[in-house]
């Protein structure tokens, strides 16, 4: 089911603890800043400490003028190398500082080139599947106990409907996005009746991000949504989990 909610902003995420992967760039960065402005305690996850620190500094600078904006938590993690041992460390760090998690947003992504299946580089295939499907599974599984401690938690996945049904040359990326849609559906069915966790898949549309420039370097980016505009849909879903529970939203 594809649903477009009637977004009403501003929203509040006061007293919410929200983890955002891919927080150093694109929609992840924009969402992390917006969530902090909405009152959330944000956990910034990304592979590059320098870029994460820039987002951290921006949020802290905003907090000097608005007491409702809290200092974020930095978790520099290379999701391409994520293992069960890493996720246990992430779980313990969040548990020790917050004791719960109210939102888990999977926005980390990259595209390692477009190739036909017959020539597809095996390492790039494995990296793409790991980043877009295996790492979200590992992180979600590990953090479920913390999400279950929330009275109203959200797990948000990002998909790409333009390729997830099968599009030539998108290879592992298309397969991973199709897989994440299925993973979201089965996770919703498993959690719907015995937890307060909402699982939602979001297609933000065509966004002017670094990833988009890799695929379409000659595209007219003035016609595309900005990451800041796209982040509003994710923000709305975090603030209204029961309205978007189990849905595919665009």
% of the chain at pLDDT higher than 70: 92
Domain limits at 51?
2-249
Question: Which residues are known to be catalytic?
Answer: 173
List phi, psi (to 5°) of 151.
Answer: -80, -15
Q: What is the pLDDT of residues 166-186, one digit of tens each?
A: 999 999 999 999 999 999 999
CATH number (domain holding residue 179): 3.40.50.720
In DSSP notation, 82-151 reads: --HHHHHHHHHHHHHHTS--SEEEE----------GGG--HHHHHHHHIIIIIHHHHHHHHHHHHHTTSS
DSSP-based three-state secondary structure for 75: strand
Question: Which residues have C-beta within 8 Å of that of residue 74, sequence separation ≥ 6?
Answer: 44, 49, 52, 53, 56
- Reported as a pLDDT band with limits 50, 70 and 90, residue 1 is low
| pLDDT value at 130 more than 70 | yes
Exposed/middle/buried for residue 148 (C-beta within 10 Å: 0-12, 13-18, 19+)? middle
| pLDDT value at 11 more than 90 | no
Distances (CA, A) of 80 to 47, 63, 135: 9, 32, 7
Mean pLDDT over residues 61-86, rounded? 94
Q: What is the pLDDT of residues 24-57, one digit of tens each?
A: 999 999 999 999 999 999 999 999 999 999 999 9
Q: What is the pTM of this model?
A: 0.94
Token pair for 197: 């966790």
pLDDT value, residue 68: 86
Chain mean pLDDT for the chain: 93
More confident residue, 215 or 156: 156
Token pair for 101: 């998690």
Q: How many CB atoms lie within 10 A of CB 249?
A: 21
Question: Which residues have C-beta within 8 Å of that of residue 181, sequence separation ≥ 6?
Answer: 157, 159, 164, 201, 248
| pLDDT value at 7 more than 60 | no
- Reported as a pLDDT band with limits 50, 70 and 90, residue 203 is very high
Mean pLDDT over residues 46-72, rounded? 94
b/e code 107-122 from CB counts within 10 Å (16+ = b): bbbbbbeeeeeeebee
- HSE of 16 in the Cβ direction (CA atoms, 13 Å)? 27
pLDDT value, residue 210: 72
Pairing of strands 2-3, 248-249: parallel
Token pair for 181: 């849609």
Mean pLDDT over residues 154-161, rounded? 96
CA distance 49 to 31: 18
Mean pLDDT over residues 85-109, rounded? 97
Q: How many CB atoms lie within 10 A of CB 233?
A: 25
pLDDT value, residue 96: 98
Q: Which helix (H) or strand (E) holds 187?
A: helix 171-191
Q: Which helix (H) or strand (E) holds 43?
A: strand 41-46
Mean pLDDT over residues 203-213, rounded? 80
- Reported as a pLDDT band with limits 50, 70 and 90, residue 93 is very high
Q: Quick one: which of 50, 30, 46 has its CA closest to 38?
A: 30
Mean pLDDT over residues 105-131, rounded? 96
- Reported as a pLDDT band with limits 50, 70 and 90, residue 223 is confident
Domain count for the chain, please give it.
1
- Reported as a pLDDT band with limits 50, 70 and 90, residue 8 is low
């Amino acid at each position: 089911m594809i649903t477009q909610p009637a977004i009403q902003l501003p929203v509040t995420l006061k007293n919410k603890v929200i983890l955002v992967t891919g927080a150093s760039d694109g929609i992840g960065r924009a969402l992390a800043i917006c969530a902090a402005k909405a009152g959330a305690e944000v956990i910034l996850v990304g592979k590059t400490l320098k870029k994460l620190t820039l987002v951290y500094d921006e949020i802290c600078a905003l907090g000097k003028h608005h007491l409702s904006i809290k200092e974020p938590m930095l978790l520099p993690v290379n999701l391409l190398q994520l293992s069960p041992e890493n996720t246990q460390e992430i779980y313990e760090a969040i548990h020790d500082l917050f004791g719960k998690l109210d939102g888990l947003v999977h926005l980390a992504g990259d595209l390692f080139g477009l190739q036909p299946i017959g020539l597809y580089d095996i390492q790039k295939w494995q990296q793409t599947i790991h980043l877009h499907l295996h790492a979200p599974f590992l992180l979600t599984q590990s953090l479920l106990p913390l999400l279950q401690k929330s009275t109203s938690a959200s797990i948000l996945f990002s998909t790409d409907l333009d390729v997830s049904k099968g599009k030539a040359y998108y290879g592992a990326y298309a397969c991973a996005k199709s897989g994440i849609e299925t993973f979201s559906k089965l996770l919703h069915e498993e959690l719907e009746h015995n937890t307060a966790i909402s699982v939602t898949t979001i297609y933000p549309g065509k966004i002017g991000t670094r990833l988009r420039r890799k695929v379409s370097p000659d595209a007219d980016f003035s016609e595309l949504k900005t990451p800041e505009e796209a982040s509003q849909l994710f923000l709305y879903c975090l603030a209204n989990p029961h309205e978007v529970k189990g849905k595919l939203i665009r």
